[in-house]
Amino acid sequence: MHQTISQLDVLPSSVTTPSYDRSALKTRIVHLGFGAFHRAHQAVYADLLATEHHSDWGYCEVNLIGGEQQVADLKQQDLLYSVAEMSPDNWDCRVVGVVREALHAEVDGLDAVLDAMTRKDIAIVSITITEKGYCHHPASGVLNLDHPMIQHDLQNPLIPKSAPGTIVAALRIRRNQGLPGFTVMSCDNMPENGHVTRNVILELARLQEPALAEWIESSVTFPSTMVDRIVPAVTPETLEKIQHQLGGIADPAGVACEPFRQWVIEDNFVNGRPEWEKVGAELVDNVLPYEEMKLRMLNGSHSFLAYLGYLGGYQHISDCMQDKSYALAARYMMLDEQAPTLSTKDVDLAAYADSLLNRYRNTALKHRTWQIAMDGTQKLPQRMLDSVRWHLSKNSQFSYLALGIAAWMRYVGGVDEQGQPIEISDPLLPLIQEKVKGSAEGHARVTALLSLDAVFGSDLPSNSRFVSAVTQAYDSLLTNGARKSVQALVKTY
């Protein structure tokens, strides 16, 4: 039998391992979406709480669709996995021990998942399913009734496929059994993610059974959260480095991330919660100012660098930061075009922008521009378009935002500046491809992509100032390429 991470005594002393009694943990949180971000963020907070404050809050991890291997790997090694914090000169590794169960809906069966979600002790169901997992229209935040999984869940409420459908099904069982509701906590990058989650769940429940929606409204809370930690997709190179940290023991469930972490949580829990504030989380009444700040300044500049970086031939965000024009452009965009739109009070936004740029310079991170460029239709509304609307209403400049949006359009055209195909990953890909194929390169392409009302709504495509700014930026990308377009824009400032 080969050695696994579960043999904690054979790991190097430099690795932090669980010092608490794992058998004393209770499964009190079911988490949907056992991806890299959750492993490196919320689960680490729980691990710190158990280590430093004897918390007994444990996780049941669930993947509904995809990620079968992650769950299988976790089960193979006694539900332990490692998190490596990467800085250019040092890697710190810890083994996380707060997972008590792991399930996959397609492997273990949906019934096993619903059983886990309907146990008396479950107080929280948390989710990291990415924006597209909510089956909503990103521009409006409402449930997408045409979504194939939602259509299935409306016809088959007891055997759902979507995450919202699974939560509604679990809540139905809890109500029928006289159990209390639980808190549904979104940890995905969306403004007012708690409100989006609430709207989607309530609308689906209402369409299935109005009385259930009423029960959910009075028995379930949906706190908003803001999460921040850069977690690049795991590569074979990452796993090799983690194996080296673990003294030669492989951990296929391991994940690597930056040292920085932040979590701001609306304190609105119906059935108890861990004392996250003891390990650095901020519990607040209103998360929105923090969310807006992070989505527009961090995520917005990330998307800007991702599209223009990819088109300019930069593979990683840290590569973009070696280009002085790109680094300046990201800073100008954050401070001149995103910061004025924010409702945040008493935050030094220039210091925040500079701290973000320093994080982007972390050469150990290898955060691929291609990874950040994924799912653009789900991200643009909150990262860039909401800010554009603010500028249009104030008649102020948004040249960097316009260039970022044009770069997304150039990117989804599917061919890079060297004539090589781009592998686009987006839930609206068939629709995007239809718009691209049905339009000539240039102004017609911009018009075609602007007609995606799930992304741009009906207001932006009919605003001549917006259309003109994006078309001009798109022309520059076609004529001069990404690097020169960024350079030219920085020079005009």
Residue-wise pLDDT tens digits, 73-106:
999 999 999 999 998 888 999 999 999 999 999 9
Structure tokens at 275: 């004392």
Among residues 189, 186, 261, 256, which one has the least CA distance to residue 221?
Answer: 186
Range in 185-194, 300-309, 320-329 with the lowest mean pLDDT: 185-194
> SS in 3 state form for 281-316?
CEEECCCHHHHHHHHHHHHHHHHHHHHHHHHCCCCE
- For residue 323, the 8-state DSSP code is S
Last residue of a domain, one of 284, 302, 322: 284
Say how far apart CA 287 and CA 195 lie, in whole Å: 11
Query: In 230-287, where does DSSP find H-type helix?
Result: 236-245
Whether 123 and 55 have beta carbons less than 8 Å apart is answered as: no
**What total of structural domains would you count in the chain?**
2
| pLDDT reported for residue 332 | 98
CA distance 360 to 367: 9
Residues 437 and 323 in one domain: yes
End-of-domain residue from the set 232, 264, 284: 284
For residues 261 and 135, membership in a common domain is answered with: yes
As a whole number, mean pLDDT of residues 362-388 equals 96
Residue 205 in this model has a pLDDT that exceeds 90: yes
Question: Measured between alpha carbons, how far is residue 155 from residues 135, 162, 175 in Å?
Answer: 16, 12, 20
Return the bridge partners of 29, or none: 59, 124
The answer as to whether 368 is a domain residue is yes
- Going by C-alpha positions, the residue among 114, 130, 110 that lies closest to residue 122 is 114
Ramachandran category for residue 66: left, alpha or beta (phi over 0 → left; psi -120 to 50 → alpha):
left
Residue 2: inside a domain = no
Q: What is the dihedral of CA 149, 155, 160, 166, to 10 degrees?
A: 100
pTM above 0.85, yes or no: yes
The two three-digit tokens of residue 142, written as one number: 């409402």
Considering the domain boundaries, does residue 3 fall inside one? no
Sheet holding 90-96, edge to edge: 90-96, 81-87, 255-257
58: left (phi over 0), alpha (psi -120 to 50) or beta: beta
Task: Say if residue 245 is in the same domain as residue 190.
Answer: yes
Q: Are 401 and 391 in contact (CB under 8 A)?
A: yes
Q: Is residue 385 in some structural domain?
A: yes
Torsion angle, CA of 320/321/323/327, rounded to 10 degrees? 110
* Three-state DSSP state, 385: helix
* pLDDT tens figures, 400-451: 999 999 999 999 999 999 999 999 999 999 999 999 999 999 999 999 999 9
Closest of 131, 243, 238, 237 to residue 190, by C-alpha: 131
Q: How many CB atoms lie within 10 A of CB 242?
A: 26
Could you tell me the pLDDT band of residue 493, with boundaries at 50, 70 and 90? low
Boundary (domain end) residue, out of 284, 303, 332: 284
71 and 116 Cβ atoms separated by less than 8 Å: no
pLDDT at 1: 47
The mean predicted confidence, pLDDT, of the chain is 96
Task: Please report which confidence band the pLDDT of residue 224 belongs to, taking 50, 70 and 90 as the band edges.
Answer: very high
26 in any annotated domain: yes
| Residue 279 sits in the same domain as residue 298 | no
Residue 470 shares a structural domain with residue 351: yes
| CB proximity list for 95: less than 8 A, separation 6 or greater | 5, 8, 11, 15, 16, 17, 18, 80, 81, 82
Distance CA 27, CA 220 (A): 19
Where do we find the tokens 């669709």?
65
Give the separation between CA 336 and CA 339, rounded to whole angstroms. 6
* Residue 238 and residue 319 share a domain: no
Tell me: do 70 and 210 sit in the same domain.
Answer: yes
Instruction: Say whether both 223 and 235 belong to one domain.
Output: yes
**Domain-located, residue 22:** yes
DSSP 320: H
Identify whether residues 27 and 176 lie together within a single domain: yes
Q: What is the pLDDT of residue 345?
A: 86
* Domain of residue 223, CATH code: 3.40.50.720
In a shared domain, residues 262 and 403? no
Which residue reads 């921040």 in tokens?
228
Q: What average pLDDT does this structure show over 374-397? A: 97
Residue 377's domain is classified under what CATH number?
1.10.1040.10
Q: What is the pLDDT of residues 143-185, one digit of tens each?
A: 999 999 999 999 999 999 999 999 999 999 999 999 999 999 9
φ/ψ of residue 226, rounded to 5 = -120, 125
Asked whether residue 336 falls in the same domain as residue 456, the answer is yes
Domain coverage including residue 362: 288-492
- Token couple for 389: 């609307």
Residue 1 lies in a domain: no
Note the pLDDT of residue 130.
94
Residue 94 near residue 15 (C-beta atoms within 8 A): yes
Residues 328, 211, single domain; the answer is no
Residue 217 covered by a domain? yes
Quick check: 122 and 29 in contact, CB under 8 A? yes
